[in-house]
């Protein structure tokens, strides 16, 4: 069977199973096995595939049909121009979170050696990207999940990022420390919605998604716990779930944070909130 034919067959079965991006997924799985670019594979009507490659492909395609996310099967996901290892221990990095990093870099461009905390770091994509873009920064990654921290450590070492890693239930482990930026993409999905998510998302760690009854539980704690851990003029920058901007903005202003600003993602969803310690 040729590359093109294998991709065509797999994408038909993916499509029938309701997988959102069938051709892309089939081509990326074959690219993962052959090391050749996905577009070249889609066009290749000549190369006859080795039976062992076809077998490996079939086993990956079976897994994809059971709705294991593509990125878990590939073992990696791109974020802010770099590849991060991912597996079922962590949330898969999302493109909207890249905008959060971009905002952080704008905020810190005139500060020398900023101290940054990536809270709920998961794969480490935010903190490692910031360290790579701002080598003078001192960056700490923290998460409550030891499994996530193991993978974040692996990513930091693969990407050559000299960061500190610390297991902590939100800011509990950080008494006596202060940061110029606390950045977080916290769990923000209301618990009741967590069971109705797209099948692939259900494969991601519940701990990384579930924001309690109204989705705001983790924000309530971060708002309170981050305040004494920020330097004067320090920033708290967080990603938001859908329609959470007003509630989180109220939490921040009630607590005494200043200069609250909101930005949209590329779909026009109010996705990020910035506030400043007085
Ligand atoms: N910071 C990681 C990310 O944005 C993990 C976020 C999380 O686990 N809630 O992908």
- For 189-204, the pLDDT digits (tens) are 999 999 899 999 999 9
As a whole number, mean pLDDT of residues 254-259 equals: 97
As a whole number, mean pLDDT of residues 85-111 equals: 97
Regarding whether 238 and 169 lie in a shared domain, the answer is yes
Among 92, 121, 144, 181, residue to substitute to test ligand 1 (most atoms within 8 Å of Cβ): 121
Domain stops at, among 66, 81, 99: 66
| 245 part of a folded domain | yes
Nearest to 143 by CA among 185, 113, 204, 198: 185
For the Cβ of 124 lying below 6 angstroms from any atom of ligand 1, the answer is no
Percent of the chain whose pLDDT exceeds 70: 100
Q: How many domains does the chain have?
A: 2
Residue bearing the CA closest to ligand 1, atom 8: 208
Query: pTM for the complete prediction?
Result: 0.95
For the Cβ of 234 lying below 6 angstroms from any atom of ligand 1, the answer is no
For the Cβ of 211 lying below 6 angstroms from any atom of ligand 1, the answer is no
- Whether 224 has a pLDDT exceeding 90, the answer reads yes
pLDDT-derived band at 110, boundaries 50, 70, 90: confident
Regarding whether 95 and 62 lie in a shared domain, the answer is no
| 84 part of a folded domain | no
Regarding whether 120 and 34 lie in a shared domain, the answer is no
Q: What is the mean pLDDT of the chain?
A: 97
* Residue numbers of the domain that contains 228: 89-276
As a whole number, mean pLDDT of residues 131-145 equals: 98
Pairwise CA distance, residues 173 & 251, whole Å: 23
Regarding whether 111 and 28 lie in a shared domain, the answer is no
| 178 part of a folded domain | yes
- Closest atom of ligand 1 to 126 CA is 1
Regarding whether 249 and 169 lie in a shared domain, the answer is yes
| 27 part of a folded domain | yes
Regarding whether 268 and 216 lie in a shared domain, the answer is yes
What is the per-residue DSSP string for 75-101? TEEEETTEEEE--TTSPPP-HHHHHHH
By the 10 Å C-beta count (0-12 exposed, 13-18 middle, 19+ buried), 28 is classed as buried
For the Cβ of 86 lying below 6 angstroms from any atom of ligand 1, the answer is no
Regarding whether 269 and 222 lie in a shared domain, the answer is yes
Tens-digit pLDDT profile for residues 2-34: 999 999 999 999 999 999 999 999 999 999 999
Nearest to 68 by CA among 60, 56, 78, 76: 60
For the Cβ of 130 lying below 6 angstroms from any atom of ligand 1, the answer is no
Give the domain CATH number at 22.
Answer: 1.10.8
Q: What is the CA angle 181-88-248, rounded to 5? A: 35
As a whole number, mean pLDDT of residues 36-65 equals: 97
Regarding whether 112 and 21 lie in a shared domain, the answer is no
At 141 the pLDDT is 98
For the Cβ of 215 lying below 6 angstroms from any atom of ligand 1, the answer is no
């Amino acid at each position: 069977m040729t590359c093109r034919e294998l991709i065509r067959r797999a994408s038909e079965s993916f499509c029938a199973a309701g997988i959102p991006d069938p051709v892309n997924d089939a081509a990326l799985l074959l690219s993962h096995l052959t090391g050749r670019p996905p577009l070249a594979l889609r066009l290749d009507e000549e190369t006859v595939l080795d039976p062992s490659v076809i077998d490996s492909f079939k086993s990956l395609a079976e897994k994809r049909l059971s709705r294991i996310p593509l990125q878990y099967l590939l073992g990696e996901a791109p974020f802010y121009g770099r590849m991060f290892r991912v597996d079922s221990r962590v949330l898969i990095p999302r493109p909207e979170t890249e905008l959060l990093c971009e905002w952080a870099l704008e905020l810190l461009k005139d500060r020398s050696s900023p101290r940054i905390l990536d809270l709920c770091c998961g794969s480490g994509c935010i903190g490692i990207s910031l360290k790579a873009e701002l080598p003078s920064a001192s960056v700490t990654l923290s998460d409550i999940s030891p499994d996530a921290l193991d993978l974040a450590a692996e990513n930091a070492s693969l990407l050559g990022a000299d960061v500190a890693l610390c297991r902590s239930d939100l800011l509990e482990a950080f008494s006596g420390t202060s940061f110029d930026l606390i950045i977080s993409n916290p769990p923000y999905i209301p618990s009741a919605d967590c069971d109705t998510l797209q099948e692939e998302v259900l494969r991601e760690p519940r701990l990384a998604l579930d924001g309690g009854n109204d989705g705001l539980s983790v924000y309530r704690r971060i708002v309170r716990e981050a305040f004494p851990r920020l330097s004067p003029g320090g920033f708290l920058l967080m990603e938001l779930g859908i329609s959470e901007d007003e509630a989180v903005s109220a939490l921040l202003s009630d607590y005494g944070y200043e200069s609250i600003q909101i930005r949209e993602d590329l779909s026009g969803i109010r996705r990020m909130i910035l506030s400043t310690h007085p």
